[in-house]
Structures are given as C-alpha cells and as structure tokens.
Structure 1
Amino acid sequence: MELLTIASYMNKRPVTFRVDDPVAHAVEKLLRSNQIGGPVLDAEKKVIGWISEQDCLKKMIESSYHCESAALVEDMMRTDVLSLPANASILDVAQQMLQPKPKAYPVVDEGRLVGIITRRDILKAIDVHLSACYVKTA
C-alpha cells in the first residue's frame, strides 16, 4: 500500500470548543456534528484540551443528581491530549487506534489545529485503498 497520510482523510472543519463554553452548548454542538469529541482551543487556535461525548455524559449524569447545569468545558476537558501531524501515516495511526482509546485525534501544525482524524476516517481510508483487493460476490 502506498504511503497514505491522514491529511487526505481528516475532517478539516471539526467542531471545536472554548474553555468558557457551557457543557450544554458543547453537547448540542457534538450532537449536531456527529463528532464523538472535539478539541478545545485557545485564542490562537492552539489545542489546549479535548472534550468527548463520554466526558459530557459523565457530567450530565452528575448534574442530573444535583440539578446543576453550570459546568463549563474547562471543568471537564482533558488536557493530556495526544495529537498528530498531518503527514502521519494512516497505517501507523491505525495501529495506535487498535488500543481502546483515543478514538479521535486532533491534527496539528505547530500546535495549531488543522483538523481531526477518527477511527471511522482511518477505516474509510484503508477501505478505499483496499477496495481493489476485495472479492466482489453477487
């Protein structure tokens, strides 16, 4: 298989978040976009965190017990974000994604967000390039 990079398959316009976004707003954005999570950016569009559906679900469950809804993205985002360069190999990233987490990575150039790549994107890329190998049955 030729060298495939994530640049051709990443989502170049992902939903992003700010630290001062309310959790309810973040949930709405995730639901509308069908993303499983997204990067939290600072004013210079540098990735400073990540928020996932799982993070939101946890906070919403906690809020339902206490009838609170004032949580912000900064209260629940992860700051230990693994990111990738746009020239990363699809196959190398696929190997990383065999682990339970993460299921999505921000793609950065000098710390600035240029897109995100998900397991689904990786699967699609490999499928496209292996389609000639598939035996078609009727």
Structure 2
Amino acid sequence: MKSVKVSDYMTRYPVIFTTQMTIEKAVEELLRSQQRGGPVVNAQQRVVGFLSEQDCLAAMLRATYHQEQSALVEDCMTTPVLTVRSDMSILDLAEQMQVNKPKLYPVIDENNRLTGLIGRSEVLRAMDLCLGDGYRRGGG
C-alpha cells in the first residue's frame, strides 16, 4: 500500500481559480465541474489559496444581505493551504486526513506548482482497490 502514490489517483485537471476571478464566475465553474472546491493559483501556477463551496456561500450571503458588489476570489479564499506532494503515499495521506480536516488537497510538484487535486473519495477508492480483496475474503 505504501507504493501507491497520490499521483496514481489524483484529478489531473481540476477546476482552478485566480485571485481576481469573481465569486459568481467561481460558482459557475464549481457547479459545472461538480467539484466541492478548488485551488487558487498565481501566474506561475503556484497555490496561493483554496476556495470551497462554503467560502462561496458565505460570500454570496454577505453580498445578498449587504447588497454589495461582487466579491473576488482573493477576498473569500482560505489561506494558508494544506498541500500534498504527488509522490506521497496514499496511506500517508489517509493518516494525515485523520488529523487535518480538509476534504480536498491541492497536489504540488517539487517546484510547488499545482499538478492536481485529491480528495477523500479518491483516497477511499485507492484503499478499497488495494485492500478490497483482502478484507472481503476475511469475512466482510
């Protein structure tokens, strides 16, 4: 199981956001992609924040109640962002997910550039495929 890497199960082309994108545009992208959130990147494709559905809901509620102009992603994104490396083992990530609560992690390379996105569903899928036969035979 240690040989199974994040790169084997990550989404390679996730929806990404920029700091100057409007929340309305970000919400359109999230809904179209059915992702629960996504990394915010700079011009060098380095992760500078994370925008979740919850962040978007909060921004849209504020705009509704206060009749504000459209917010930008940079006003609503979460920082700092917990990231993982593509060469990390799925088992190590599963252990990390027990301590840290993000549901989605941006995946970065050795130059800290975004290479993908991985979430709990992908980790569960990897563990199920790798361990599935063994625990199913054991009486489960």
The TM-score normalised by the length of structure 2 is 0.91
Query: Contact 1:24–1:69 (CA<8 Å) still a contact in 2?
Result: no
CA drift of 1:68 comes to 2.5
CA drift of 1:95 comes to 1.3
Which runs of 5 or more structure 2 residues have no equivalent in the other structure?
none
1:53 has 2:53 as partner: yes
CA drift of 1:100 comes to 6.0
1:7 has 2:7 as partner: yes
Give the Cα separation in 1 of the matches to 2:98 and 2:138.
27
| Cα offsets for 1:53-102 (capped at 9, x unmatched) | 11111111111112224100010112201111101010111112124621
- Runs ≥4 residues deviating over 2 A: none
Aligned partner of residue 29 in structure 1, secondary structure = helix
1:114 has 2:119 as partner: no
Distance 1:84 1:8, change over 3 A: same
Aligned partner of residue 65 in structure 1, secondary structure = helix
Aligned partner of residue 51 in structure 1, secondary structure = strand
Distance 1:27 1:50, change over 3 A: same
Distance 1:112 1:2, change over 3 A: closer
What residue is the counterpart of 2:97 in the other structure? 97
Give the Cα separation in 2 of the matches to 1:71 and 1:87.
36
Which runs of 5 or more structure 1 residues have no equivalent in the other structure?
none
Alignment of 1:1-138 (within 5 A): 1-99=1-99, 101-109=101-109, 110-133=111-134, 134-135=136-137
Residues paired across the two proteins, number: 137
Query: Contact 2:17–2:73 (CA<8 Å) still a contact in 1?
Result: yes
Give the Cα separation in 2 of the matches to 1:131 and 1:29.
34
The TM-score normalised by the length of structure 1 is 0.92
Q: What RMSD, in angstroms, separates the aligned Cα atoms of the two structures?
A: 1.7
% identical aligned pairs: 46
